[in-house]
Amino acid sequence: MAMPKKTKNTKKTSPALQERSSRKTIIDVAKCAGVHWSTVSRGLNPEKRHLISPEMIERVEACAKKLGYRANAMASALRTQRSRTVGVIVSNLGDPVHPPHSAGD
């Protein structure tokens, strides 16, 4: 009995998913600059820049710019446990400025 041929899964990916998978990471920048990823983190963080040399900061920034690196806000939120978001509770979605009048008004 002949076995059916196996076919490859040719599922197309969405453009958003392709962008995420091709997005450059801090590790990619580190490989480009020839340094550890923690050095890249320090070089791109204004609060930690004083820990590395100005030459290293320039090298890290040049590689980040060349690769088109953008910080990942979700990854940062997981690491720092700060989402930098604000929650707002609105009791009346129809008109958040003027609440409905009660029946006795």
pLDDT tens for 1-58 read: 666 665 565 566 666 655 566 889 999 999 999 999 999 999 999 999 999 999 999 9
CATH for 26-78, options being 1.10.3420, 1.10.260, 1.10.8, 1.10.287: 1.10.260
Question: Given this model, what pLDDT does residue 97 score?
Answer: 72
User: What is the separation of C-alpha 42 from the centre of its chain, rounded to a whole number of angstroms?
Assistant: 17
Asked if 68 contacts 24 with a C-beta cutoff of 8 angstroms, the reply is: yes
Domain spans of the chain?
A: 26-78
Close Cβ partners of 84 (under 8 Å, ≥ 6 residues apart): 73, 77
Structure-block tokens of residue 23: 């997005």
pLDDT level of residue 76 (50, 70, 90 thresholds):
confident
Rg (Cα) of the chain, in Å, rounded?
24
Is the pLDDT assigned to residue 99 strictly greater than 90? no
